[in-house]
Amino acid sequence: MNEKFYTYKGYPLVRSKNTIYYGYMSDRYVIMIQILATKKIGNTDVASKVRVVQMSTDLTLDPLKACVKNTECECGLYEALDIARVWLEKALKK
């Protein structure tokens, strides 16, 4: 089965409720974006506070040690995705 995912700047996005995973699970790192708060704009809920976490995909690591870098910001999803893209590209170049 060949599933298609939404992508942002070349990396796949997978969402489960208020958590979005950004990147390929086959790479060394992925980014987890948690939507912590939303606000209404018209009839639509949009993210207003997010947590961005760079995580190792190494399944042998303790989950706490797998979290390499994180930040919380009062920003929208696009800003969080831009942070995620920069972190992911830097991490994968190493």
Percentage helix, strand, coil for the chain under 3-state DSSP, each rounded to 5: 20, 50, 30
Which residue ranges make up each domain of the chain?
A: 6-93
Give CA–CA dist 26/39, Å, rounded. Answer: 34
Q: What predicted TM-score, i.e. pTM, was given to this entire model?
A: 0.89
Give CA–CA dist 47/66, Å, rounded. Answer: 25
Report mean pLDDT in 10-residue bins for the chain, 94 residues.
Answer: 80 95 96 96 95 96 92 95 96 88
